[in-house]
Structure 1
Amino acid sequence: MAEEVKDQLQYSSSSDGIDELGERSKIEEDAAWLMAQKKGNQFVIGDQPFYVNGFNTYWLMVFAADQSTRVKVSEVFQQASSAGLTICRTWAFNDGQWRALQKSPSVYDEEVFKALDFVVSEARKYKIRLILSLTNNWDAYGGKAQYVKWGKAAGLNLTSDDEFFSHPTLKGYYKAHVKAVLNRVNTFTNITYKDDPTIFAWELMNEPRCTSDPSGNTLQTWIEEMTVYVKSIDPKHLVEIGLEGFYGPSTPNKVQFNPNTYAQQVGTDFIRNHQALGVDFASVHIYADSWISQSISDVHLQFTKSWIEAHIDDAEKYLGMPVVFGEFGVSTKDTGYNSSFRDTLISTVYKSLLESTKKGGSGGGSLLWQLFPEGTDYMDDGYAIVLSKSPSTTNIITLQSRRLSLFNSRCSWKCHWGCKKKNPLEKFSDHDEL
């Protein structure tokens, strides 16, 4: 706020010409930072399509909460920006654990909330938009298991973590957290989160599953209730679920695309879930190495390609919305791992998405799991990519970013999607560089 006051004082003492120039510059900057929206099966910003190349770094808030590690947040945004990445997915939750944001239901650590404020303000500085996930299916950073612990501490008779999705008190805890985050006024920018274009979308939950109800009805009811609730507070932002993309009981003809038979028994249902009112785009994850086999092989590449194509096809035919492949990667811990295979898998994902982009299709983009700056190796789950240490991977990522940026900047809604003359991607082969 002090900086804003100083700027205003400078403007008031300047000549009319400089004042007008500064005001025009501010207007142009604001106009360029519009809220992301959905139009048909594409994302748009203003009247331009917005196909995305992005990444995950889930721990940004926790690192920002400590002054000794806060610089790593800036570093990862700077490096991602240099590679042309435009979206980062990260956690807007840490429930009841170390450096918790939410220490107990509706009780927040203000210093950790300020750390999340910093992440949002820093993302804006580097022109990176955020997908903010609101809780976890897994125990890491609290998630549904922590909500159940809070419920038990309050005297509720709970027997399963899946009661997170059905018990009124636990749903109330979750809604209170949603309300607190969406109505948060950023202490760095003075912008309320629900009004900030830096936030690309809200994610209901990281990888929700409800194995206690394989029919999918429990999770479906929860999704329907929570998407409407988020939209009731914030109708401006996009909302997605956070699903892995498994096909379920409503589409028995699709389960052939699942990586294994267990996938159709976890209570999720890709098409049905995404038909819930208030869901703006579909989310899918890709982990051939944990779903099929930890020994890497060409089977992983074949699965990845068919998995992507099936979901893009469904997003176009049945959902009428974009689909984002919100996590994908290869672990260095996999049997037979080498960096060349990782590059090949990333290229496979990118190439499949480019085929959709060329047609103005539903393949809205992909987010690498995950990007790390140097000196954070102790957080590495095997999937971390440090751009400065991975030149070949960096080149692949950067080229994809350039291709999408060129497409986004040259194509507008006034142009026919099928018009090859105006399609800048047509001139690129797989190995072209700009």
Structure 2
Amino acid sequence: MAAAPDAAFVVVQGTHFVRNGQRYYVAGTNLWYGGYLGAPSGVGQRARLVKELDRLQALGINNVRVLAVSEKTDMKSAVSPATTSAPGQYDEELLKGLDFLLAELGKRDMTAVLYLNNFWQWSGGMTQYLNWFTGSAAHDPNVSKDYERFMAENARFYGNANAQSEYRRVIARIVKRVNSVTGKAYRDDPALMAWQLANEPRPGNAKAGKEQKAAYVRWIAETAGYIRSLDGKHMVSSGSEGLAGSAEDGQLYLDAHRTPNIAYLTYHLWPKNWGWFDSKQPDKTWAGMMDKSLRYLNVHVDYAKTLGKPIVLEEFGMDRDGASFDIAAPTTVRDRFYGEVFKLVQQRAAAGDPIAGWNFWAWGGAGRAANADYWWKPGNDFVGDPPQEEQGLYSVFDSDASTLKLIQASAQRLRAIGGKP
């Protein structure tokens, strides 16, 4: 392939990614807290971030998916501090952390996906926008235990004019930012692979109606178009989970990703969260879970073929043996699950299907749970599990030797497929 202008940027050619004239496969992880570690003060731990990136690079990881902004909230299951303390009020130290992260990624020839909002409450997200502009309580489903109500309420975000105006102001603030470390505008930085509308945006709950679905599709198309109007060099993606985040409506998933302003498709795989697997009865529930998981993966690759766009499996995870959060607990089941997922993705990539890669959830690295109940509190280490979940639930730590070996081997295989003409 001939190198295009600005060849260091990751772009779409046909149904694959290309960078520097070569096919580019994402072998990545989720590092939602990367910008937090990069901050020059407060919660920042730049020395740890540098070590984490070095470790990831040594494993063959070339991409990290990162939370770009968060909203201050009273919800206890949300991270603090936040980049946005109130509409128009930003924590410059945390934004400098994002600058530092991008600078360090550039040094290592790694890339980032930055998501600009969150359907879930653990970073404030859409429910906090609604709190600001409608006066409704920021709904914490970790407290109410009513996720159906939470999802239905959160979908109001897409149609709230004031919330959308503020969201676009935040988008412009980040997209047009000039990096305080490198002096390079984000729009001109090839260390950024793509902007993402939000983490796991949904049209509502499983009962979402026609109007809700239409508002969701319109929001994706218009917001992606707005980002592209500010930055024509970088790709934009939705952050969708796939069918699980589309009210199990395949047509909705396709419609939401047809717009030319969405460069590639995304999907996530959470068999335990979706009730497909019981970690305390692995032998009894393994076969059914894997059958559903592999079907889910294949269906979404086929959707990508239908739309003629690449697709990234940007989240998948499994807990430790026995549903333990203890870092000393084995990862036998997780390793087996990862192995099956990697195998299918590699097979379809080798067959020429529109596979663009994977990001496992999530990198815990050198972080460690600090409390006996495994719940995060301000001042604790950041790990792969956000504050809405027990610390250690899905994190891959730097001591998980067998999982790291598997990830490294899988990254090498994907890179080898990418090296083929």
Deviations 1:152-191 (A, max 9, x none): 359xxxx943221011111111111111100000000111
Whole-Å Cα distance in 1 between the matches of residues 6 and 156 of structure 2? 44
Q: CA deviation at 1:47?
A: 2.0
> 1:63/1:170 Cα in 2 relative to 1: closer, same or farther (>3 Å)?
same
Unaligned runs of at least 5 residues, structure 1: 1-30, 250-262, 413-434
Query: 2:310: which partner in 1?
Result: 322
Query: 2:396: which partner in 1?
Result: 385
Whole-Å Cα distance in 2 between the matches of residues 49 and 229 of structure 1? 28
Whole-Å Cα distance in 1 between the matches of residues 202 and 364 of structure 2? 27
SS state at 1:295 partner: coil
Q: Does 1:182 align with 2:194?
A: no
> 1:165/1:104 Cα in 2 relative to 1: closer, same or farther (>3 Å)?
same
The match for 1:345 among 337, 345, 358 is: 337
SS state at 1:184 partner: coil
Deviations 1:408-431 (A, max 9, x none): 23x34xxxxxxxxxxxxxxxxxxx
Whole-Å Cα distance in 2 between the matches of residues 384 and 150 of structure 1? 32
Whole-Å Cα distance in 1 between the matches of residues 321 and 158 of structure 2? 33
Q: CA deviation at 1:375?
A: 3.3
Instruction: Kindly indicate whether the alpha-carbon contact (under 8 Å) linking 1:41 and 1:322 is maintained by their aligned counterparts in 2.
Output: yes
Q: Where does structure 1 differ by over 6 angstroms across 4 or more consecutive aligned residues?
A: none
Name the TM-score, length of structure 2 as normaliser: 0.80
> 1:248/1:55 Cα in 2 relative to 1: closer, same or farther (>3 Å)?
closer
> 1:85/1:360 Cα in 2 relative to 1: closer, same or farther (>3 Å)?
same
**Aligned Cα root-mean-square deviation (Å):** 2.4
Counterpart of 1:271 in structure 2: which amino acid? L
Counterpart of 1:244 in structure 2: which amino acid? E
The match for 1:331 among 319, 331, 336 is: 319
Instruction: Kindly indicate whether the alpha-carbon contact (under 8 Å) linking 1:246 and 1:268 is maintained by their aligned counterparts in 2.
Output: no
Instruction: Kindly indicate whether the alpha-carbon contact (under 8 Å) linking 1:72 and 1:373 is maintained by their aligned counterparts in 2.
Output: no
Counterpart of 2:166 in structure 1: which amino acid? Y
SS state at 2:66 partner: strand
The match for 1:113 among 65, 71, 95 is: 95
Query: 1:196: which partner in 2?
Result: 189
The match for 2:243 among 231, 246, 264 is: 246
Query: 2:293: which partner in 1?
Result: 304
Q: CA deviation at 1:229?
A: 0.5
Query: 2:412: which partner in 1?
Result: 402
SS state at 2:217 partner: helix
Q: Does 1:172 align with 2:177?
A: no
Whole-Å Cα distance in 1 between the matches of residues 63 and 295 of structure 2? 24
Q: CA deviation at 1:276?
A: 2.2
Unaligned runs of at least 5 residues, structure 2: 74-79, 137-151, 280-285, 371-382, 384-390
Q: CA deviation at 1:67?
A: 6.3
Q: Does 1:272 align with 2:255?
A: yes
Instruction: Kindly indicate whether the alpha-carbon contact (under 8 Å) linking 2:84 and 2:91 is maintained by their aligned counterparts in 1.
Output: yes
Whole-Å Cα distance in 2 between the matches of residues 32 and 77 of structure 1? 25
Query: 2:272: which partner in 1?
Result: 289
SS state at 2:352 partner: coil
Whole-Å Cα distance in 2 between the matches of residues 71 and 131 of structure 1? 22
Q: CA deviation at 1:274?
A: 0.9
Instruction: Kindly indicate whether the alpha-carbon contact (under 8 Å) linking 1:42 and 1:360 is maintained by their aligned counterparts in 2.
Output: no
> 1:72/1:300 Cα in 2 relative to 1: closer, same or farther (>3 Å)?
farther
Query: 1:36: which partner in 2?
Result: 10
Which stretch shifts more, 137-146 or 399-408? 399-408
Name the TM-score, length of structure 1 as normaliser: 0.78
Bigger Rg over Cα: 1
Whole-Å Cα distance in 2 between the matches of residues 68 and 311 of structure 1? 38
Counterpart of 1:48 in structure 2: which amino acid? Q
Query: 1:432: which partner in 2?
Result: none
* Matched residues, number: 361
Q: CA deviation at 1:335?
A: 4.5
> 1:224/1:333 Cα in 2 relative to 1: closer, same or farther (>3 Å)?
farther
Whole-Å Cα distance in 1 between the matches of residues 321 and 162 of structure 2? 40
Whole-Å Cα distance in 2 between the matches of residues 177 and 364 of structure 1? 28
SS state at 1:366 partner: strand
Whole-Å Cα distance in 1 between the matches of residues 67 and 267 of structure 2? 17
Deviations 1:339-381 (A, max 9, x none): 1211111111111111122122211111100012223334425
The match for 1:54 among 15, 28, 32 is: 28
Whole-Å Cα distance in 1 between the matches of residues 9 and 364 of structure 2? 27
Percentage identity across paired residues of the two chains? 26
